[in-house]
Structure 1
């Protein structure tokens, strides 16, 4: 498995923004973007900001991208997430769809 992959700019921006906070994360998305995480759908920047705020308030975590694959117009990042949540560490798949230099859709799965 490749470590520290070279990520497309919008994806690298997303992971960097995750360290800076919910406002920075929301700015990485298109206005009507959709995030699917833990069985819930969050649509639009304000909903995405609230999703990230809730996650950041509940847990402290660090995400390390391990690999990048591309298929059917989507980029899939396998990342190791470690932190103060049950089951840490865990490897998660971040499935991105990009548009206009931003994230248009993100699905996070185990």
Structure 2
């Protein structure tokens, strides 16, 4: 089912907003203790590894970019968000998919890929 921003689960919106604002500590609070995040083909398992990934992701000042929510679909406990990024990173433009799996209100799996 197609979902607009306001129709997304609260913790998914909280994660996306915190990531865009580069607030890693706030983004970490939405994950289960044994969650797994896959980004750039690497798995980050559990809160400690996810925290390290978030810290590195939000502190990288090498690149600046803007983000735009372009759409989402939800199916049961799965949420797929598409976000458009433009900036001074290699290629300059990318559409990323954030694929969330929820365990109750918390995120237990996230895959980020083009």
Q: What's the TM-score once normalised by structure 1's chain length?
A: 0.84
Unmatched 5+ stretches in structure 1: none
Which residue matches 1:24? 26
What aligned pairs does 1:85-100 form with structure 2 within 5 A after superposition? Answer: 85-100=89-104
* Cα distance in 2 between the residues matched to 1:5 and 1:80: 18
Count the aligned residue pairs.
110
With over 3 angstroms needed to count, the CA separation of the structure-2 counterparts of 1:79 and 1:5, relative to structure 1, is farther
The answer on 1:14 being equivalent to 2:18 is no
Deviations 1:2-33 (A, max 9, x none): 87563221110111121141111111111111
Unmatched 5+ stretches in structure 2: none
* Cα distance in 2 between the residues matched to 1:6 and 1:62: 22
Taking only aligned residues, the RMSD between alpha carbons, in angstroms, comes to 2.2
* Cα distance in 2 between the residues matched to 1:46 and 1:62: 28
Shift of 1:64: 2.2
Which residue matches 2:45? 43
Q: Is the CA contact 2:98–2:112 (under 8 Å) kept in the aligned structure 1?
A: yes
Q: What's the TM-score once normalised by structure 2's chain length?
A: 0.82
Q: Is the CA contact 1:3–1:66 (under 8 Å) kept in the aligned structure 2?
A: no
With over 3 angstroms needed to count, the CA separation of the structure-2 counterparts of 1:5 and 1:68, relative to structure 1, is farther
What aligned pairs does 1:71-90 form with structure 2 within 5 A after superposition? Answer: 71=75, 73-90=77-94
